[in-house]
Amino acid sequence: MITETTTQGMYEKLSAMLSTTVPDFELRIKAELAVEINRIKAEKNAVILGHNYMEPALFYSIPDYVGDSLELSRKAAQSNKDIIVFCGVKFMAETAKILNPTKKVLVPSEKAGCSLAASITAGDVRELKAKFPGVPVVTYINTYADVKAESDICCTSGNAVEVVKSFNTDKVIFIPDEYLAGNVARETGKHIIYPTRDPKHHFPNDLDYQMIGWPGRCEVHEKFTVEDITNVRKQFPDVVILAHPECSPEVVEASDFSGSTTAMIKFVEKSNAPHYLMLTECSMGDNVAAAHPEKEMLRLCSIRCPHMNQITLEDTLEALKKEQFEIHIDEDIRRRAYIAVERMLHIG
Ligand code: SF4
């Protein structure tokens, strides 16, 4: 009997889904790697979490769970396995460790960073809090543990509006994604300002604002433009365009739907449009297209996240074999970050 535990079985499964996206010789190599990873995973009592932005052959072969960073963090929190391998970027693996500190959490590549997470430091947050005393800090989950530790609550792209609305205060600090903050401000009818690190920069005293943002951006989503949308609509007038809220407010406004990666997937699953275009990381488009061959997915995709791209089957195999690269977080930082993440999980 051929099953996914054999190279031939895995190859057949991947080939059935991905033969139009991944060359055949690559599928054969990847099937072999995936079978070996799954064997060691069972041997070491490990669980593999795969983010929606993982490349298709990895996405459909080794994760026990796939999803966005929030869904995977919940899975990490509930896991009773000895090792959690997070096929995603470092801040995601850190969130798993924050929620389940007794487990060994591994990220397959040390190079898997994030432009958003790198845009702000814990010191920056302390300075913002000093500049705007008493104003609560809402921090996007795409940040490192020490930044989360300085925050009142975390949020994801899926619950950011709800989290901001949960505060009964005149003002809210929302960091670090300039565009997500802009989209939340638009949706909640708040006026937003963006402080800089320049100590000489001051806002006029009579300025009316309710949100304080930060100039961090996702290097993938900032690349989509309104012109891209206009051009696609000219060619495909009946296309439904879905934009991730890390895209600029102008792009989100010109789109038909905006939501987290999971919300976008659900939208495609539940609707019936002649064409779809997802303005997000391109592997996700490939993964959705593979799962729904009956849907017509357009690609605008030269935009692969260089950080997510670091996570390969080869590196995952090495990470499992050598139990590298383990996430370590100072316990005081972890405990404070846990409070911010836990508060968000209570909201939803
Ligand atoms: S897609 Fe953007 S937010 Fe996600 S890891 Fe890459 S740079 Fe960071």
For 51-104, give the secondary structure using H, E and C: ECCCCHHHHCCCCCEEECHHHHHHHHHHCCCCEEEEECCHHHHHHHHHHCCCCE
CB atoms within 10 A of CB 19: 12
Residue 347: the pLDDT is: 86
Spatial distance between the Cα atoms of 87 and 98, rounded to a whole number of angstroms: 16
Spatial distance between the Cα atoms of 222 and 215, rounded to a whole number of angstroms: 12
Kind and range of the H or E run holding 277: strand 275-279
Angle at 74 between CA 73 and CA 75, to 5 degrees: 90
DSSP-based three-state secondary structure for 348: coil
Residue 177 is classified by DSSP as: B
Residue 262 is classified by DSSP as: H
Atom of ligand 1 nearest to the CA of 114: 8
C-alpha pair distances (Å), 104 with each of 76, 82, 118, 134, 246? 11, 6, 24, 37, 31
Q: Tokens 């989290």 — which residue?
A: 163
Residues whose beta carbon lies within 6 Å of some atom of ligand 1? 89, 114-116, 142, 218-220, 281, 305, 307-308
Structure tokens at 318: 């090495």
In this structure, the residue with its CA closest to atom 2 of ligand 1 is 218
Ligand 1 pocket check: which of 217, 223, 279, 281 to mutate, most ligand atoms within 8 Å of Cβ?
281
> Distance, CA 88 to ligand 1 centroid (Å)?
10
Ranges of residues in the chain with a pLDDT under 70 are 1-2, 300-302
In this structure, the residue with its CA closest to atom 6 of ligand 1 is 305
Give me the helices (H) in 221-323, please: 226-235, 249-254, 261-270, 282-291, 313-322
> Distance, CA 113 to ligand 1 centroid (Å)?
8
Atom of ligand 1 nearest to the CA of 221: 2
Q: Quote the pTM value.
A: 0.94
Residue 65: phi and psi, rounded to 5, are -140, 140
